[in-house]
Chain A
């Protein structure tokens, strides 16, 4: 079904919903790369007008990727929450924007990923912050994440050769600066099962030796983590990168059935806990040539529907990791990070954001400070903590432990309550390392 809007004497026509969403998307290099971005600024706003007039009910009758062709579409349509949707089913996309900004309670609205993507496209940065701050998504493992007044940090102590003591040194440095309540999560340089098991055992040793109320994760492929689980390694969280189409998930070597199997296995080990950790990021589907002509931000929202299926403890968009061909500069990364946070929250996810960039993007630490501050105001569940903001294994820049301290102080937030109590108990905060956290206790 075609959509149209006239602007400045020109009538712009958009052939279908996917085209309308793509043309209405604020400019980013990935959509230009895919050849689906608006050709002019006027065409973009015309598409935004047409999108604002679209009834939300239309999204239930036109899929951006056919139901028969894609298991993520089937998951979205088959799992649609009709009860919550009744409250807003009379609205257009424009009406939804007004509703979200005006209403204090915006959780459980039965929104589909495509509806959430659509409304974000007609929002400014301040709207993304204001609405993103409304839904509170609380998850639990050994501590409680996402409570009001808290900002958690994933401690990311990566090492280029997975050296256990090198990783442990990064862990201790982060703990001394108040990081690690979201999780202590290592990206291994290798997917080697022996290395993954060795890191899992070291992290568990540090956690138990210091009695830290947190959870650990080695971010290996889900199949490797399941093997480690079978071999009896101390697996807390099961990690996996996911995307918003069946094709991109296949490119990651996963299926919905495999994720369900991993979720069941980890829940058997940790009954009652949120056990999954997912990472996403705009552009992965185009990168895997699995985007079906749909814009990257809409596909990102579809990935959130996949994540929501498995009650994750943590989800984060690795927003600036993918590179300038998808998000060109600090301006595009800033907006995308705030879109991902708000859209994930509206879809019920415990959203974090890896506030980051690569050295081939037109961005620097100033851009990250701006995004970090906006996200802290928007109530992001967690951010990353990397020594000095410099990930020496993945070769990109994220937020430092110091940045985490800054964001908490600037927005008057604390770590998760159990972790905050641990910080007080350990006597952290001064210049010297407390005896209870002596490096010697963990073999350093």
Chain B
């Protein structure tokens, strides 16, 4: 949405705009933002609000649902989004990495980003890859229930991230070694901001493969697995959302 902003008020300020998609160099009227910047913000917020409630078709081998019956219940009852709907059956995938593709807070985001990441990641893994499980009205921790039910070695949850003003198509990946209900967020590693303009599918796949190999060696994910993967200079930095601000 930054593109909808007017040009910055002078040449020096435009230098700032060149380096970030953040809303910099807006100018000011009194202490406030000029009308154009104000309306650009309102428009982006309206689109993000709408994205939270949008539905999308997700690609996978099996589809399961959480216990949250609709979007409103999903928003108000995260506990239901972490449990599989009663009567769900899943095939065994012992020792495998299982992908869970989940709507989360932005179904359109995961629909757009997940297929390319899975395709790029498959050849990089040493572990066998199990079926891709699509999960509807799902929270990250639903992957623990799915991974445990399938006997998976690890679960990679690909989930739509909460829409922001500049990005309404972003996906995150949460990797959990030895998934089982009761795992805490400190026992996962996260890769976030996967989208055009953020982390590319190839970068996300490389990062996931690195984390999975490290997790396999360590027998754990989370705080114990320090992310000291060398930075990829040609690709820029490698985001993995810090535990402390993650409250999905």
Contacts and interface: CB of A to CB of B under 8 A. Distances in A.
B116 interface: no
B247 A221 contact: no
A321 B248 CA distance: 10
Contacts of A432: 10, 12
A66 interface: no
A163 B237 contact: yes
B108 interface: no
A191 B211 CA distance: 13
A196 to B, nearest CB: 9
Given A193-B226, A392-B164, A444-B16, A161 B236 contact: yes
A273 to B, nearest CB: 22
Given A252-B186, A365-B45, A170 B24 contact: yes
Nearest to A170: B22
A393 B244 contact: no
Interface stretch (A291-299, A301-309, A337-345, A383-391): A383-391
B16 A172 contact: yes
Query: Interface extent on A, as a size class?
Result: 35 or more
* Max count, chain A CB within 10 A of own CB: residue among B49, B237, B240: B237
A426 to B, nearest CB: 14
B223 interface: yes
Contact of A405 (B28, B227, B237): B28
Interface residues of B, number: 70
Interface stretch (B55-63, B120-128, B146-154, B191-199): B191-199
A169 B23 CA distance: 10
Contacts, number: 230
Interface of A: 29, 33, 157-163, 165-170, 172-173, 177, 187-195, 198, 219-221, 223-224, 227, 239-241, 250-253, 279, 281, 283-284, 287-288, 318, 321-325, 328, 358-360, 364-365, 386-397, 400, 402, 405-406, 409, 431-433, 438-439, 444
Given A159-B20, A221-B223, A388-B26, 18 more contacts: A160-B239, A162-B239, A163-B236, A188-B242, A193-B226, A227-B226, A239-B244, A251-B186, A279-B244, A360-B105, A387-B24, A388-B23, A390-B23, A392-B165, A395-B161, A395-B167, A400-B23, A433-B13
Interface of B: 9-10, 12-13, 15-26, 28, 31-33, 37, 41-42, 44-45, 48-49, 51-52, 75-79, 105, 161-167, 170, 184-186, 192-193, 197-199, 222-223, 226-231, 236-245, 247
10 contacts: A159-B22, A170-B20, A177-B28, A189-B240, A192-B227, A219-B242, A251-B185, A324-B75, A390-B23, A402-B31
